Amino acid sequence: MISMPGNLAMKGRKQPLAQEEQPLSSKSSSPCTPRSLDTRHVLQQQIQQFAIALPVVATWVVYTEPDQGKRQSLVHYTPKPGSSYPDLTDLESEGWLFESLPALTLREIVTLDSVRAFGCLLNLYHSQAEYLVLWTDASLSDKEQRWAEQQAQFLMNYLVMSRECSRQHTEIQLLEQVVRRAEHQLRNPLALISLYAENLTLGSPAGPMKDQAQLIGETVHELTSSLTDLLSCGQQAKLHVAPHDLGSILQESIKGLQPWLEKKQVKIIGDETPVTLAVDRWQMKQVFDNLLSNAVYFSPQAGTVTCNWMVFRDEVLVKISDQGPGLSEEDLKQAFTPFYSRRPEGTGLGLAIAKKIILDHKGSLWVQNLSSGGAQFSFSLPRS
């Protein structure tokens, strides 16, 4: 049993305090966002299960709220005639004591009168302990302790997942703000490029130059007509989803990169396996444009970029690999962060936009280094 300081003596209460929750301090009483309310609701439901399965008089969880990083406390009291309820006021200032507890392993920490306290560390988040405390009026069997530890694992996993969702939501909001600001700087240049491309198309004789000018005009038209959709950062309601052949979209993207490929003598080998997916064609082309241009940029002269996919029952896995220097540890962490770029002329938005588009299609996008050298960007897309 881990002994606690003398000032943590339990002050008996014949009646419970607020049944569901109480703030860790007055500073935690600010309104919660909908996502944090969901987190509290899930945790409340979970700690109520302790009262059903174990002889507990109170269950206490202290954690860091995912959205705003504020410390929160949830308490559930089990109404029992004649039972004394612990006063947690003193324990709230002694959170550092729980850092010494083994992670996700229940230990008896104090016995006061007829009530025992069992606790375990859930996680250390930014050097602050998140923990679970069970006050019981009977000893816990080995089976009950193992069950409680399994529930502690669930609580910890849920908190980690909630914080990751909150982080991704914040990044998406930032990206949406960036795209809206960029829109005002894009429309006028696009109109000017479109005018020059049209003049070049009309004034050039038949041949490669005329074809390239026409391709520029078509690309600018696509960009202009789809800019409004991009402003919503690919929100699901804005997706123009229809069945499209992935290979056709890939070849269209490769065609747009052809002048650069010829200049650098880089070859893109594309998968020829036919696969049809329900996607927004223009936005999926942006994904290929961003990932392929990134691969070509970091490829050596006369290098090779490969794009292939594997078709499973429920999803398609796409891999784009290059023969470049690969990514540093910092690159791997920041690759999809807005404004982060290793390319001198890069905006740091291409990969972030690609990830948002894939997420809107209910897929996933990630990057890794290859053991043979180079980097590989992979994304998955559902088949339905």
pLDDT in tens, the chain (384 residues): 544 444 344 444 444 443 444 444 333 333 344 454 578 888 888 888 898 889 888 898 988 887 777 888 888 888 766 655 555 555 555 555 677 778 889 888 776 666 788 888 898 887 788 889 898 888 889 999 999 999 999 999 988 888 888 887 787 777 777 766 767 667 778 888 888 888 888 888 888 888 888 888 888 877 776 665 556 544 444 678 999 999 999 999 999 898 889 999 999 999 989 999 999 998 999 999 999 999 999 999 999 999 999 999 899 999 999 999 999 998 898 888 877 788 776 667 788 889 989 998 999 999 999 998 999 999 999 997
Residue 214: its H or E element? helix 208-231
Does the 241-384 domain belong in CATH 3.30.565.10?
yes
CA distance 374 to 377: 10
The structure's pTM equals 0.48
8 A C-beta contact, residue 94 and residue 10: no
Look at the block and give the residue holding tokens 């109109």: 191
Does the 6-166 domain belong in CATH 3.40.50.800?
no
Domain ranges of the chain: 6-166, 241-384
CA neighbor of 164 nearest in space, from 67, 81, 87: 67
Helix (H, G, I), strand (E, B) or coil at 248: helix
Helices (H), the chain: 34-53, 89-92, 142-203, 208-231, 246-256, 258-264, 281-298, 329-334, 350-360
- The DSSP 8-state label assigned to residue 235 in this structure reads -
CA neighbor of 361 nearest in space, from 347, 337, 339, 379: 379
Instruction: Identify the pLDDT of residue 95.
Output: 55
CA distance 62 to 349: 38
Burial of 77 (0-12, 13-18, 19+ CB in 10 A): buried
8 A C-beta contact, residue 289 and residue 252: no
CA distance 302 to 318: 23
8 A C-beta contact, residue 125 and residue 72: no
Residue 60: its H or E element? strand 56-64
CA distance 261 to 242: 30
Edge-to-edge strands, sheet with 315-321:
267-270, 304-311, 315-321, 375-382, 364-369
Count of H helices and E strands in the chain? 9, 12
CA distance 123 to 121: 6
CA distance 41 to 34: 10
CA neighbor of 325 nearest in space, from 284, 374, 366: 374
